Structure 1
Amino acid sequence: MGKIIQLKTNGQRAGLREAQDNRQLVRLWRGELEHGSFCGYVGGVGREFFLLWVVGDGISYDGMYVMRHRDVTELEVPDKHHTFLEKALALKGISPTPPAVFPLDDIGQVVRAASANAPVIGVHVDSEEDTEVCYIGRVVSYEEDGFNMQEITPDAEWLSEASFFAWDEISTISIEDAYATSLLAVAGDPPPLEQGDSGGVGRVH
């Protein structure tokens, strides 16, 4: 049976660090952002963010997610079904391989590192309804208060103008998840960007 950790901030960070050190499979909930949960291995713990190497519902690698500590409402260490999940992963020859080094202390570091690790990333932003919306694309430039990204639509079409994202609106960055990888495979190489000012954000996924 997993141990439920509901303490915020320092207690939660300590639980995540312990899980990382012991290579324990964890499950966490972000009750104010979504109804489901995330299962995976902790790949790093920073001041504001942590990295989770995610195990999907099909018991396969489903990308890495960099999330804010403050969004986690419940943490189970280890996942109560970890014995089964670990055996299933082993039978499939799947072993967690998060980056050896990944900066997690501020969102600017996170976006730069994520963009360096994958051709497209998922950018999850806070909405007015206190839930997340996701945009997928490739980072093309950085500014003092945010960055510009060329997006892929849900129909796997590249937009021709970049969209701007402010640092302070981002809640989560996803890397190598199956959906984004499939979008990129269908979309192919991006077209050149049209010159001009960045537009607003584009197509929500």
Structure 2
Amino acid sequence: MGKIIELKTTGQRAQLREAQESRQLVRLWREELEHGSFCGYVGGVGREFFLLWVMGDTITYDGIYIMRHRDVTELEAPDKHHVFMEKALAHKSLTPNLPKDFPLDSIREVVEAAARQSAVIGVHVDSEEEAEVCYIGRLVGVEEDGFSMQEISPDAEWLREASFFSWDEVSTVSIDDGYAQALLAVAGTPPPLEQGPGIGLANE
């Protein structure tokens, strides 16, 4: 059985680094943001964020999530069902492919690195109800106080005006998840943006 660690105290980064170094399959909860949990492999631990290769409930790759340390309320390391899950991954010939040297010390680094790795990213922001809302799109501009993104609607249509997000409202960034990739596949090539405030070239 995995050891459940309450993360409101201290040692969160150390526990995640240990899980990364020992290649442990972990499960974590963020009770103030969602009811469910995340299961996967830790791929990096930074000052403000950590990276998780997420495994879905059907034992499939469910994307890379970069999350804030402060949102995690509970960690189980290893996951209590890790023996079965690891065997199931091996049976499917599914090997976690973890990004190397992914920057995790600031949200600007996270967003820019995610945009370099994926045509679209998921940007999860804190809403007034303290639950996350996810926006999917491509990075089109970076400024001192935030960034601009051309979004894809839930109907897989590219918006013609960019949306602006401040750095401090972003709680999670995701890449390669199935839903975002499906939206991109249906939406196709993004149309030109209508120029407006906050639109600029994203850093290469």
**Fold match, TM over 0.5?**
yes
Query: SS in structure 1 opposite 2:164?
Result: strand
Which position in structure 2 is the counterpart of 1:176? 176
Q: Give the counterpart letter for 1:120 in structure 2.
A: V
Mapped to 2, the partners of 1:7 and 1:79 lie a distance apart of 16
Which position in structure 2 is the counterpart of 1:69? 69
In the TM superposition, what whole-angstrom CA distance separates every residue of 1:152-204 from its partner, at most 9, and x where no partner exists?
000000000100000000000001000000000000010000122359xxxxx
Shift of 1:8: 3.3
Mapped to 1, the partners of 2:159 and 2:112 lie a distance apart of 21
Aligned length: 199
| TM-score, normalization by structure 1 | 0.95
Structure 1: which 5+ runs fail to align?
200-205
In the TM superposition, what whole-angstrom CA distance separates every residue of 1:117-167 from its partner, at most 9, and x where no partner exists?
000000000011111000000000101100000000000000001000000
Mapped to 2, the partners of 1:120 and 1:180 lie a distance apart of 7
Shift of 1:9: 6.3
Root mean square deviation of aligned Cα = 1.1
Which position in structure 2 is the counterpart of 1:140? 140
Contact 1:9 1:69 in 2 (8 A): no
Q: Give the counterpart letter for 1:41 in structure 2.
A: Y
| TM-score, normalization by structure 2 | 0.95
Which position in structure 2 is the counterpart of 1:97? 97
2:107 is aligned with 1:113: no
Contact 2:29 2:74 in 1 (8 A): yes
2:151 is aligned with 1:159: no
Which position in structure 1 is the counterpart of 2:202? none
Structure 2: which 5+ runs fail to align?
200-204
Moved >4 Å (runs of 4+): none
Mapped to 2, the partners of 1:165 and 1:124 lie a distance apart of 10
